[in-house]
Amino acid sequence: MGLLDSILGRSRPKQANLDALFAVPSAAITLRAAVGLAPTGLGAVCYRPAGGAAFAQAEQEIVELLRGAADAPDVRLEHDEFGFTWLVVDDDPDDVEGLVTDLHAVNTTLESHGFGPGLLCSLVPFADATGRRAGLVYL
């Protein structure tokens, strides 16, 4: 950030740490052992959609990539009341590594197409024996 940007109060968006997701599988082991939380098999990436054909093409590429595997998870797009899109992946709860790989693929594809600043977070929910949920959120 330059001096003029500082004077005018401009700031650059913080770059996402996409590799932080790879801490989830080991955290899952700790959460299960320490507090009885188990992965639900769900995961999501939340992002601000951009207009235009390039974004639509990138989003379509992501969905096709995830659905194209032999053991493809269920993939759906949901839109919230704040204007964000949630790409939700529903996979086997015992395959946390596969879920994390899928979420990372979503993030890196958006970033490689120039939409990295629109990434809000990635979410991996866990549940206890009663079904109450808690989540790990990575920005």
Reported confidence tier of residue 2, pLDDT bands at 50, 70, 90? low
Q: Does domain 14-138 have CATH number 3.30.70?
A: yes
pTM score, whole prediction:
0.83
Please report the pLDDT score of residue 18 as a whole number: 74
| C-beta separation of 54 from 113 below 8 A | yes
Q: Smallest Cα–Cα separation from 73: which of 97, 98, 109, 38?
A: 98
Q: What is the mean pLDDT of residues 112-119?
A: 92
Residue 131 has pLDDT above 70, yes or no: yes
Residue 25 has pLDDT above 80, yes or no: yes
pLDDT digits (tens, 9 = 90+) for 38-90: 999 999 999 999 989 999 999 999 999 999 878 889 999 999 999 999 999 99
